[in-house]
Structure 1
């Protein structure tokens, strides 16, 4: 005859559940113990003291200045007394007045100094600006300057090519270009500053393709004229 057992009194019935609950409880205690943080209340301080007051006036450094000692007292010069009977020779004072016999220089005898003409005059100050090919019909200096700027922009837009290596690397920016229009109308002394060598090389290529211009003149004399312009490289 087999013994009868009550299933509700069997202790091994929920053993797996109890094991999982116990394991979760132990892991929870371990996590709390690892994350538990304590702070030392004795080291509290006002963090507002770390911020400098931007309106605080700087106190100038005072350098003590020492008064220099007075110069030494010099003895008075010895005065020599001369007897009245002794003759004294006075120095002769030359007269500054002119007489009628003195020759007066004529105006033609005076050599006038020739003023040296400037070798280089800025674009905005020159009397006769350089003439870009196609701007010869303009009459006033302001119209020639405006036409020069317009033709420069048209030349850059016509010859502009974005460097392939700059496109692949995503390089863009502004290249500042400065060059000089020589006395014969040619372009020289090109200087560039930009964010990348490939952009500078492209800007130099564009400026070197500029046509020969009519040179600028100052006092009817051909002079060198520096000119600067920015070239923007933008990726779309």
Structure 2
């Protein structure tokens, strides 16, 4: 007998939602269409006032919150995070807690329009070469591709203004923020990098932070804006080899502890 794949509720009561979470959290992908506020506290702090959002919770602990615009989630927690919930003053409260580093994402839900649990069975791995993720792995394996003395410290480092592809330090102990693009970089890529750099400069000082856009090439507009903003460019093509080969010896490098630099 084939197992049922999808379960859903429309406008659930708080009690219905509690029962739904009990039944399907940790073994299904959960999707909630809800009105909520979002609070993040960890390496930084952020607050998102009430609005309609899409909340996605995966069995591995991945926690994503999407707005109605842009590709990236506005808040997120990585795999391995612990998910807890409770009801308080007629609000349904979800928390995603990460121990190392210590981070907490709190979602205060005032209304759930619809919720869905998907029994997702997928045992295949994406075989993609030349991606930005592989570029990051290649840089971790050989930091001198960026410059001599560069030390990569963290990948996908979350700050209030977005997610930094690679955060590291140069030989003079200045912060270095890398924005990676697998294709020709445009004005949007430069603006993205500028936001991240400005945030770090506000914390550590203007002379202690560098921003480098890493891509195979630049548009004319992007090159002009980089110069105007005193940002840098490093020409680097994405790898064309096997992803399995690129992952060799990565674990020891990826476990570098960022907190000692903060």
TM-score (norm. length: structure 1): 0.19
Between the two structures, name the one with larger relative contact order (CA 8 Å, sep ≥ 6): 1
Higher-Rg member (1/2): 1
Higher helix share: 1
